[in-house]
A and B are shown apart, each in its own frame.
Chain A
Amino acid sequence: MTGLAQTLVGGLAVGSVYALIALGMSLIYSMSRVINLAQGAFVVLAALTAVSLKNALGVNPVLLLIMTAIIFAVVLAVVDQVVIRPATKRATPERMLLITVGLLQAVGGFLLIVYGNLPYTLKAFSQPSSVTLLGVRVATQDFWIFGVLLLSVLALWFLLQRTGLGLTMRATAQDPRAAALMGVNVDRVRLMAFSMAGAMAAMAGAAIVPLTFLQYDTVVPYAVNGFIAAVIGGLGSATGALAGGLLLGVLEGVFSRYTPASTAEVLAIGVLIVVLLVRPAGLRGKVEEVRR
């Protein structure tokens, strides 16, 4: 029982990162109808940037999270202005998917050139690196990851539900053309969505890197799992992204605990396919969008 509890905590920590990627993807999709497959790659890029910042400046964890969040809010805003925005004016949604795959590969290539092919990590933000709670050994870094997810969800909820900007964003998400006709600067709203997605990817990357080793070729697993989480939750739904990410992380952890790794992955994806068969729009997606 203790072992299972330990597995669940580990699965929730990894799932929190998937959830943050899925949240960013969903936010961007809502505002622009672009599925940004490169979102997971920015998590790894942010993680390695955090390693560089920590090694160069020796900043404390909170400052490290804030710095990487600001940097990647700007980076994703630039990506939107330089790549996504011009491309959406010319390319169909299918080709936009290809462009974001290209972006994913470009980030991986950039990491290989700048950081080489060695793995990078950081020490745990808090010491001791693990504690025992009710007989369950938990990495203290897990609490940082849960905290980052909670903070991101609360901030997003407050922004969307309690501010004028949030109202504008929700209107844009519902119907970008109608919002534009009502005088909303849709490009600006989308820019903000990209910035927020960048900040979330950055905090996810900085928080997960002390738990693992990351390098240039780890961009793909994050991109794929983040995308799966977003689709399972229902693209465009924040609560769905949260649920999809956590569910995927827990399923991977539990199946890995009791079955060989390759079987575990197939089983986890199999369960999620069943979810999609029962609810084609995902856990929290809108059915009419799927039919359309």
Chain B
Amino acid sequence: MYRPRRHLTRKAPTTVGALAVLMLASACGSQTTSGGSGGGDSSPYTFGVVTSQTGGASQLGVGELRGAQLAADFVNGKGGVNGHKIQIESADDQSQPNQALQQTRNLIAKKVTALVGPSVVANCNAIAPFVKDNGPVDYCLSPGIDASGFVWSASAKTDALAEETMSYWKNKGITRVAIINTTDASGTDGGRAANEAAQKAGVTVTAQVTYEPAAVSATAQLQQAMASNPQALVVWSTGTPVGVALKGIQQLGIDLPVMTTDGNLAGAFLERIADYTPKTLLIPATRDFWWETLPKTDPAYDLEQQYHDAYQQKYNEAPDFGPGVGYDAVLVLAEALKHAKSTSAADIRTAMESIDGFPGVVGTYHMSPDDHRGLTVDDVAMVQAENGKFTYVGK
């Protein structure tokens, strides 16, 4: 009898400790950031926001959560949705797909009204099979997934970004481009989209070369691209690999217009590449980056003004790529809830699919059962990175 007792005695603290750690982890993993009373007709609608607050994708995730919270404050400031306040229940997926799924399960167990996030395509793909057929509605903040069922996808599609770029260049007389993209999922998809968009616009792709996202140098690939005598370069990747390519462009003395992707629409990124920014660095961007060119009578102008002012005031910096999609996700879900017959996932989905001409900060949404994104090439224009800012250069 002694042995089992000793076994129990030794195990008990370990088990209790493990439970305590699990409870602590759970407590740290999700956090309610806006209060609200439970029960009754005025009980809040809770949106579970799963973003990457730590890890590699936190550059996106931190801003996305800020944007979502700002939108909830905005809606609540106007009295909420049909008398219900919006409450944000945030969770950190640590930039890991398995954590994204774990946090999503936790939020669903807490019976959230809808989900917003995760931040990146791999994490969205991790949770999509879990919610796609039965809900709750999930508004994935990455543009990189094919959204259907109960899943929505934020921002403009990769194809729309590529189409806008090629159309812009064609109008500027550029008819020969070389594409250099990374071998990861988003780089490969971007390379494909750029190739197809070029064909559609009547632009010749003189070369398409690839490099590893973790490559130290891309000069060999750039040489290969330059051997085809292009008039412009497409560098399709996000973050560090783009920096590596831009360094190579400078080292090789290449003096061509360069296009890169909207994932690089961040002030921090511009700071990092300040000394290596090509003379012309173009990025296809959604409306939140060129809203000031809208006529003041445009239905979106006031919303954009309010969003940018509120973000600047609350966080003392201008919003970049992340906050806009988080902001719109909450606005669009709130709009759907306003028209849904109930808070059931099916009714929210039907209401979401009926949204048509709803202005957000990223663009104006035209959803349908076949379009769970609602933005098109009309919501995209070209901006140029110069002097640490993004300047509108046209459509």
Q: Is the CB of A10 within 8 A of B183?
A: no
CB proximity to A under 8 Å, residues B230-287: 239-240, 243-244, 247, 250-253, 268-269, 272, 275-276
Q: Does B55 belong to the interface (CB within 8 Å)?
A: yes
Q: Does A262 belong to the interface (CB within 8 Å)?
A: yes
CB distance from B119 to the nearest CB of A (A): 12
Chain B binder among A73-81, A180-188, A217-225? A217-225
- Chain A count of residues within 8 A CB distance of the other chain: 40
CB distance from B221 to the nearest CB of A (A): 6
In the bound complex, CA of A217 to CA of B96 (Å): 14
Q: Is the CB of B251 within 8 A of A139?
A: yes
Q: Is the CB of B216 within 8 A of A14?
A: yes
Q: Does B106 belong to the interface (CB within 8 Å)?
A: no
Q: Is the CB of A257 within 8 A of B247?
A: no
CB proximity to B under 8 Å, residues A2-32: 3, 6-7, 10-11, 13-14, 17
Q: Is the CB of B227 within 8 A of A215?
A: no
Q: Is the CB of B272 within 8 A of A118?
A: yes
In the bound complex, CA of A107 to CA of B179 (Å): 35
Q: Which residues of A contact B210 (CB under 8 A)?
A: 260-262
Asked if A261 meets B216 with Cβ closer than 8 Å, knowing A117-B58, A129-B251, A213-B247, the reply is: no
Q: Return the CB mask of B193-219 against A: 1 if under 8 Å, else 0.
A: 000000000000000011110111101
Q: Is the CB of B272 within 8 A of A121?
A: yes
Q: CB within 8 A of A212: which of B59, B209, B221, B244?
A: B244
Q: Which residues of B contact A130 (CB under 8 A)?
A: 250-253
Q: Is the CB of A119 within 8 A of B217?
A: no
In the bound complex, CA of A121 to CA of B216 (Å): 12
Q: Is the CB of B215 within 8 A of A261?
A: yes
Asked if A213 meets B251 with Cβ closer than 8 Å, knowing A3-B227, A260-B209, the reply is: no
Q: Is the CB of A120 within 8 A of B183?
A: no
In the bound complex, CA of A7 to CA of B224 (Å): 10
- Of all chain B residues, the one with the shortest Cβ separation from A258 is B224
Q: Which residues of B contact A253 (CB under 8 A)?
A: 217, 220
Q: Is the CB of B240 within 8 A of A218?
A: yes
CB distance from B258 to the nearest CB of A (A): 16
Q: Is the CB of A119 within 8 A of B239?
A: yes
- Of all chain A residues, the one with the shortest Cβ separation from B219 is A10
In the bound complex, CA of A17 to CA of B217 (Å): 12
- Of all chain A residues, the one with the shortest Cβ separation from B181 is A261
Q: Is the CB of B224 within 8 A of A119?
A: no
In the bound complex, CA of A43 to CA of B106 (Å): 40
In the bound complex, CA of A130 to CA of B216 (Å): 17
Residue among A10, A11, A253, A261 with the highest chain B CB neighbour number at 10 A:
A261
Q: Which residues of A contact B221 (CB under 8 A)?
A: 256-257, 261
Q: Which residues of A contact B211 (CB under 8 A)?
A: 256, 261
Q: Is the CB of A117 within 8 A of B55?
A: yes
Q: Which residues of B contact A221 (CB under 8 A)?
A: 212, 214, 216
Q: Which residues of B contact A129 (CB under 8 A)?
A: 250-251
CB distance from B284 to the nearest CB of A (A): 22
Q: Is the CB of B217 within 8 A of A14?
A: yes
- Of all chain B residues, the one with the shortest Cβ separation from A262 is B183
Q: Which residues of A contact B276 (CB under 8 A)?
A: 121
Q: CB within 8 A of B59: which of A117, A211, A257, A261?
A: A117
Q: Is the CB of B214 within 8 A of A120?
A: no
- Of all chain A residues, the one with the shortest Cβ separation from B210 is A261
Q: Which residues of B contact A257 (CB under 8 A)?
A: 220-221, 223-224
Q: Is the CB of B183 within 8 A of A261?
A: yes
- Of all chain B residues, the one with the shortest Cβ separation from A255 is B220
Q: Does A112 belong to the interface (CB within 8 Å)?
A: yes
Q: Does A137 belong to the interface (CB within 8 Å)?
A: yes
Q: Does A189 belong to the interface (CB within 8 Å)?
A: no
Q: Does B56 belong to the interface (CB within 8 Å)?
A: yes
Q: Does A208 belong to the interface (CB within 8 Å)?
A: yes
Q: Is the CB of B272 within 8 A of A119?
A: yes
Closest 5 CB pairs between A and B? Answer: A213-B243, A119-B240, A257-B220, A256-B220, A261-B210
Contact surface of A with B, Cβ cutoff 8 Å: 3, 6-7, 10-11, 13-14, 17, 112, 116-121, 123, 129-130, 137, 139, 208, 211-218, 220-221, 253-254, 256-258, 260-262, 265
Can you list 24 residue pairs at the A/B interface with Cβ under 8 Å? A6-B223, A7-B220, A10-B217, A10-B219, A11-B220, A17-B216, A117-B57, A117-B59, A118-B268, A119-B239, A119-B243, A120-B272, A123-B275, A130-B251, A211-B217, A213-B244, A214-B240, A216-B56, A217-B56, A218-B240, A256-B211, A256-B220, A261-B211, A262-B210
